[in-house]
Structure 1
Amino acid sequence: MSATAGQAAEGVRSLADRFGIEPDMVVMEMGYDDDVDFELRDALADACGSDLVDEDTDEVVDAVLVWYREDDGDLVDLLVDSIAPLAESGVVWLLTPKSGRPGHVEPSEISEAAPTAGLTQTSTLSAGKDWSAARLVAPKAARAPKR
């Protein structure tokens, strides 16, 4: 492997670290299509040590990777579906095309849809050349055990 290829692979691995994916986590993927970032998918699968599971899984998942484009339907409905199998401390990563790319989603759409779906946006990051990622979690009050 060339030094440049090695640096690129290291950069993708460190991006997987920024997603907080650790060994033995179960990561579900929604919205897969031929335009997804395959290097990112591979890095996340490597980080958890297994293939990403699809939305038909019966498992409780630690993270959900949602690929969403402007014409993919109702974002609130998709986010509600994404949290159904999510563990109490789980996180949803909403991946949308960057500005200027086909299917770009305005940040205001995400900031309006997340709370309606019962989620709070905590951060964003660049998830590769073509994708941005928004980290969404259930608010702490919603995750607190009921007494």
Structure 2
Amino acid sequence: MVAAADAQNYAKKLGISHGMVVQELGWDSDTDDDLRADVEDAIGDELLDEDADEVIDVVLLWWRDGDGDLVDALMDAIGPLSDDGFVWVLTPKTGKPGHVEPSEIAESAPTAGLTQTSAVNLGSWTGSRLVQPKARAAKR
């Protein structure tokens, strides 16, 4: 029961609540199914994939070393993002295959027009929260 209680905390840690529209990018066989299930339970719907055409509240971007250019991925992620929406870049923890140095996220975010606001521990993954600057969002 402890694992279930921990999993129920993922959506809360990510600031995801009922009714939000959440898009998942970068899914692969190594993604955390407990985290995904908790987010779906919290929003009361399924996660949208990269083909979704809705306005998105939150993007979960699973990112590993070797996945390509993070700036390009972030630019794609913010296209459908609502003005007050945000992106979570989910990366494997230090020592895990595919680990991404935090400096890569810190350097890529501003280039994509985003600001990093926080980081959270999500089991074997780490989440980095990126937001659009308010001035930019207001111009849209």
Q: TM-score, normalised by structure 1?
A: 0.92
Provide the C-alpha distance between the structure 1 equivalents of 2:94 and 2:34, rounded to a whole number of angstroms. 20
Secondary structure of 1:101's match? coil
**Structure 1 residue 24, shift from structure 2 partner:** 1.1
Provide the C-alpha distance between the structure 1 equivalents of 2:82 and 2:39, rounded to a whole number of angstroms. 18
1:108 aligned to 2:103? yes
**Structure 1 residue 39, shift from structure 2 partner:** 0.1
Aligned equivalent of 2:68: 73
1:47 aligned to 2:36? no
1:138 aligned to 2:138? no
What does residue range 1-147 of structure 1 map to in structure 2 within 5 Å? 5=1, 7-128=2-123, 130-145=124-139
CA RMSD of aligned residues (A): 1.0
Provide the C-alpha distance between the structure 2 equivalents of 1:51 and 1:103, rounded to a whole number of angstroms. 26
1:72-127: per-residue Cα shift (whole Å, max 9, x none)?
A: 00000000000001111101000001101111100111000000000000000011
Unaligned runs of 5+ in 2: none
Provide the C-alpha distance between the structure 1 equivalents of 2:84 and 2:4, rounded to a whole number of angstroms. 29
Q: Structure 1 stretches (4+) deviating beyond 3 angstroms?
A: none
Unaligned runs of 5+ in 1: none
Matched to 1:81, the amino acid is D
Matched to 1:13, the amino acid is Q
User: Paired residues, what number?
Assistant: 140
Q: TM-score, normalised by structure 2?
A: 0.96
Provide the C-alpha distance between the structure 2 equivalents of 1:54 and 1:96, rounded to a whole number of angstroms. 18
Matched to 2:88, the amino acid is W
